Amino acid sequence: MTPEECATRLRKAAFLDRDGVINEERAFVHRIEDFVFVHGAVDALRDLQAAEYLLVIITNQSGIARGLYTEADYLKLTLHMQERVEAAGVKLDAVEYCPHLPDALVAGYRVDCACRKPGTGMLDRARSTLGIDMAKSILIGDRSSDIEAGRRAGVGRCFFVRSGNPLAEPDIQLADGIYDDLAACVRYVLSREFQE
């Protein structure tokens, strides 16, 4: 297969932070009863899927390294999230997470890794596994570390959503736009694609 043929087989993806983008921002969400979807988020995921975006969640989960919950707790909540969106007709193509911290309380997670955003490890894994065209992809997050990871990984367009996390003006300048929530951001992205 020629390089050109390989390039045409690559697919665009939507890289999405979890807390504050998919579910309501709360400190270290790890229990099913505390997991609440942001209004309109599931519909926005469905719209991205219909527009042929692969759906890739990328989430730092330092609560594991801090000893606030276990990796098993995280995986249980992730399964719940996947089941909920699947019931609404949405398939998540990948859920990447980083449980590490350089100064972790839990020794097994005390790692200065490449996957913790703003590192690109989670995006790189998904790109390699799923065959993603990074330049045609988007990233939506609520912290500067999300946008920085997207820029470093070569993601074409990176957006902020407002979740209550403070955003300094220099952070905002890093992004291609800032929106009230995932639904508003996706409406913008898809309307621009329709016009192009």
**Annotated domain spans of the chain:** 14-195
Question: Can you give the pLDDT at residue 8?
Answer: 60
Amino acid at 110: R
Question: Can you give the pLDDT at residue 127?
Answer: 98
Q: What is the CATH number of domain 14-195?
A: 3.40.50.1000
Which residues of the chain, if any, have pLDDT below 50? 1-3, 5
Name, in order, each residue with C-beta under 8 angstroms of 98's C-beta and a sequence gap of 6 or more: 59, 60, 61, 62, 113, 115, 116, 117, 119, 121, 122
Question: Can you give the pLDDT at residue 133?
Answer: 98
Question: Can you give the pLDDT at residue 195?
Answer: 56
Q: Is the pTM of this model over 0.75?
A: yes
Question: Can you give the pLDDT at residue 119?
Answer: 97
Question: Can you give the pLDDT at residue 157?
Answer: 97
